[in-house]
Amino acid sequence: MAVETPHILVVDDEKTITDLVGIYLKNEGFEVTLAYNGADAARAILKGGFDLAVLDVMLPDIDGFELLRTIRADYTYPVIMLTAKGAQADKIEGLSLGADDYVVKPFRPLELVARVKAQLRRYTSYGSRDQAEEDTAVIAFDGLVINRDARSVTVDERAVRLTPLEYSILLYLAEHRGHVVPVEELFRAVWGEEFMQGSNNTVMVHIRHLREKVGDDAQNPRFIKNIWGVGYTIEG
């Protein structure tokens, strides 16, 4: 039996962004419906037939949170919210209302496409809606893309060559994005050994090399942040 083409709703009042995202998604083979305001989006949502929605929080009429409530009243398909940079409250509210992920503006279309694929894979396994997968093959945020299947990493579409330990550190932190990972936990998870004297220095050295490769400034890191006395975090 042929697999149905996933149908995606994209809602943003910035027409240039909406149209560009639509082009990228269509090029990936998705069916796409575009809406430039909340009213049109609400009507489309009520008609149904979507497999995923991308909703801008800030809309001129009905905001993205209200659209999210409308979706969650009847549907369980994934929803990705578009939020302004630094709008932590928007992220918290969106996730509490049932959003599955968020992307901070400005963003790269390829990053959003990766997020869409990851959410669809988790929810539908590309055609089988019987159960969701616990993990997604792709983690993408802020220009960083980690592909578990290929064990590859790119930053701003530039391939980054990592050692197995560096890759494992980055993957573990990315999987726990938004949480501070204690040094002891990171060491046990990546090295598979008990944390001992000197283990902290081992982690620090590998973190330093990893930061150099992904282009992180230790004083103003883009990805890996050090929470002194506790551990490391990727906020994303």
**Residue 109, domain CATH:** 3.40.50.2300
Q: What is the pLDDT of residues 166-188, one digit of tens each?
A: 899 999 999 888 888 999 999 99
Same domain as 85, residue 20:
yes
Q: In this model, does residue 197 exceed pLDDT 90? A: no
More confident residue, 118 or 19: 19
**Lowest mean pLDDT, pick from 12-21, 97-106, 133-142, 199-208:** 133-142
Same domain as 170, residue 130:
no
Same domain as 124, residue 11:
yes
Q: In this model, does residue 122 exceed pLDDT 70? A: no
Overall domain count for the chain: 2
Q: In this model, does residue 98 exceed pLDDT 90? A: no
Same domain as 161, residue 121:
no
Nearest partner of 144 among 122, 119, 111, judged by Cα: 111
Domain that holds residue 218: 152-234
Same domain as 18, residue 86:
yes
Mean pLDDT of 134-151: 81
Same domain as 36, residue 105:
yes
Are the CB atoms for 82 and 12 separated by under 8 Å?
yes
